[in-house]
Amino acid sequence: MTADGGDESTADRPVALVTGASRGIGAATAHRLADDGFDVVLAARSRDDLDAVAGEVADDHGVTVHAVPTDVTDAEAVAALVDATLERFGRLDAAVVNAGTGERRNVPLSEMPLEEYRRVRATNVDGAFYTTRAVLDPLRETGGTLVFVGSYKGKYPSTSTPVYAATKWWLRGFAKSVAGRVGPDGVAVSVVNPTGVPTDFGRDVRERSNADRLDSGDVLSTDDVADAVATAVAQDAPGAVAELDLFRRDIYERF
């Protein structure tokens, strides 16, 4: 689906790709980057949810929005996503690696089905790798920005969700290593690490999603995280936001 808004030629606007864009942080990021003047490509597995967000972003911000249903655990599907982006817009200026999933909370490792472990790894690790590999060459062409949405749990242990935390630790190490390779090519690489956000994250595998479990008045919002991503994307060369920790103000009280 392509949703068009406004009269300005898309050739005059930069282009951003956002994975996991059908809800939560991904949808908020799509709105935020569109508000900054980006045409946006939205990727997620759910076509209906993705099309709904695409229509909202186009209507609200007057940009062109291209929705491409994509399973990031499928390397060929991710490559096709980037091909579709370049075919539609001819360029890519920012890519936001946001798609992610988690495991059930407080499940003993001896009782965690291997399929559950593999599912988290496939989305959070393999999906991030496939997306990164596909977007780097187009980003080199534009001197663009690659943003990874990490987590507070990628810097501190999580006894309740150790597999999810481990994938986010991997993501940080991968991002910083990739930065060492592509920084000399003019590509900025950023990691944004938020604490908990009340979204539908976890709704497929847990009794309560983050939206049900977290008090929205005491934690970050999706817009807060989207603003942080936009801050990273907005940096001009030679500067780059290497890492941005976006924590609730009382987070260290837990220690």
What does the pLDDT look like over 30-86, one tens digit per residue?
999 999 999 999 999 999 999 999 999 999 999 999 999 999 999 999 999 999 999
Q: Is CATH 3.40.50.720 correct for 2-250?
A: yes
List C-alpha distances in Å: 58 to 3, 41, 194, 223, 228. Answer: 6, 11, 27, 18, 22
Which pairing describes strands 188-194 and 65-69: parallel, antiparallel, or unpaired? unpaired
Residue 106: is it exposed, middle or buried by C-beta count within 10 angstroms (0-12/13-18/19+)? exposed
Average pLDDT score over residue span 15-28: 97
Alpha helices in 23-161 (DSSP H): 24-35, 47-61, 75-89, 114-121, 127-142
132: left (phi over 0), alpha (psi -120 to 50) or beta: alpha
Q: What is the pLDDT of residues 113-138, one digit of tens each?
A: 999 999 999 999 999 999 999 999 99
Average model confidence (pLDDT) for the chain? 92
Least confident of 2-6, 212-216, 229-233: 212-216
* pLDDT value at 9 more than 50: no
* pLDDT value at 146 more than 90: yes
* pLDDT value at 206 more than 50: no
Q: Point out the residues that are catalytic.
A: 164
* pLDDT value at 20 more than 80: yes
List C-alpha distances in Å: 252 to 42, 152, 162, 215, 229. Answer: 34, 11, 19, 17, 23
Average pLDDT score over residue span 149-157: 96
Torsion angle, alpha carbons of 159, 232, 242, 67, to 10: 60
Q: What pLDDT was estimated at residue 217?
A: 57
* pLDDT value at 106 more than 90: yes
- The band of 144, judged by pLDDT with boundaries at 50, 70 and 90, is very high
- The band of 254, judged by pLDDT with boundaries at 50, 70 and 90, is confident
Distance in angstroms (rounded) separating the CA atoms of residues 61 and 63 = 6
Tokens (6 digits) for 172: 């940080």
Tokens (6 digits) for 203: 């709704």
* pLDDT value at 213 more than 70: no
- The band of 198, judged by pLDDT with boundaries at 50, 70 and 90, is confident
**HSE, side-chain direction, 13 A CA sphere, residue 212:** 9
* pLDDT value at 6 more than 70: no
Distance in angstroms (rounded) separating the CA atoms of residues 171 and 101 = 13
Closest CA to 101 of 132, 128, 81: 128
Q: Is the pTM of this model over 0.75?
A: yes
Question: For helices 222-233 and 24-35, what crossing angle results, to 10°?
Answer: 50
* pLDDT value at 12 more than 70: yes
Q: What pLDDT was estimated at residue 2?
A: 74
